[in-house]
Structure 1
Amino acid sequence: MGVLGKMEVDIDIKTSGDKYFRLWANKPYHVVDILPHKYQCCELLEGKFGQPGSILLWIYTLADGKMRYAKTIIDIDEENKLVSFKVLGGSVLEEYKSFTVITQVLTKGTMTTAKWVVEFERFNDYGPYPKDYMDFFIGVTRDIDAYYLKDH
């Protein structure tokens, strides 16, 4: 049996929480337009954009410059403004037994926060922690925030 792990990070954003949530929940393909240096593809394989249970294919590039892919199933929790992407296949499953990425918008008073959670199962006690993925999601959030603040 592998080792289960969870990493979380909260990033304050200036973008409307609704706009940020809608991007990931309903128009994830738009991140390819916003961040072509990080995401090269978000293709619908099954279902409909904005529909829980839909299958998406992602092609993305981490900081090491190596292109990777992930086939994911999306779940959307409107009430909690939470979107999760469970990896069904792809590059990340060469390093981890299981991998799920969750993003959620939290509002605390006047502050809006984008929370990222990565739940993973390592193959053994000495397997890697997904620090490179968390760094990637922090950069993605900052880039999306900057994009929307330019009046797009």
Structure 2
Amino acid sequence: MGLHGKLVAAIEFKAGGDVFHELFKHKPEHLSKASPIRVQGCDLIQGQFGQVGAIICWRYTHEGKEKKAKQVIRVMDEEKKLIEYEMLEGSDLLQLYKTFDITIHVETKGNIDLVTWTLEYEMCNDDVEHPMSMLSYFIDITKDIEDHHFGKP
């Protein structure tokens, strides 16, 4: 029997939540410009960027290793600025986890925009660790995008 888990991180994003949401919705291939050390590319396999059912393939570096991951956009909620991805194949994630879903949600509280990353997964067995390094990876990407938007090195 697998073990279900959920990790959540909310990060203040000073460059504006709309900027972040639009990047992931319409121009995910541009992430390699904002975070070239972590993201090398995003290829559209089927459908259209920003549409439910679109299948994309990410090329990225995690823990010093080049990886690929194919995902489908399962939910796109423009009003809530929410995108939910389901992992289909690739990467080493599906060797460790039976399911692996990633949700990105941008919300504004007061004058503060928060980017919330939610990882939901089912581990293949009790020996598998929770994907803390993946959550940290997404936090780092968020910071990279903010720095890129403000022109920081």
TM-score, scaled relative to structure 2: 0.94
Cα displacement (A) at 1:56: 0.1
Deviations along 1:26-75, whole A, 9 cap, x unmatched?
1111101221211112000000112111000011111x201111100013
Cα displacement (A) at 1:143: 0.6
Runs of 4+ aligned structure 1 residues displaced above 3 Å come to none
Distance of 2:19 and 2:50 partners within structure 1:
14
Cα displacement (A) at 1:86: 0.7
Distance of 1:76 and 1:23 partners within structure 2:
13
The answer for the alignment partner of 1:79 in structure 2 is: 79
Amino acid in structure 1 at the alignment position of 2:97: Y
Stretches of structure 1 that go unaligned for 5 or more consecutive residues are none
Give the % identical residues.
38
Distance of 1:149 and 1:84 partners within structure 2:
27
Cα displacement (A) at 1:126: 2.9
Does residue 88 (structure 1) correspond to residue 80 (structure 2)? The answer is no
Stretches of structure 2 that go unaligned for 5 or more consecutive residues are none
TM-score, scaled relative to structure 1: 0.94
- Segment of structure 1 superposing worse, 4-13 or 124-133: 124-133
The answer for the alignment partner of 2:66 in structure 1 is: 67
Alignment: residue pair count: 150
The answer for the alignment partner of 1:56 in structure 2 is: 56
Amino acid in structure 1 at the alignment position of 2:66: M
Distance of 1:118 and 1:132 partners within structure 2:
11
Indicate the RMSD between aligned Cα atoms, in angstroms: 1.2
- Segment of structure 1 superposing worse, 135-144 or 119-128: 119-128
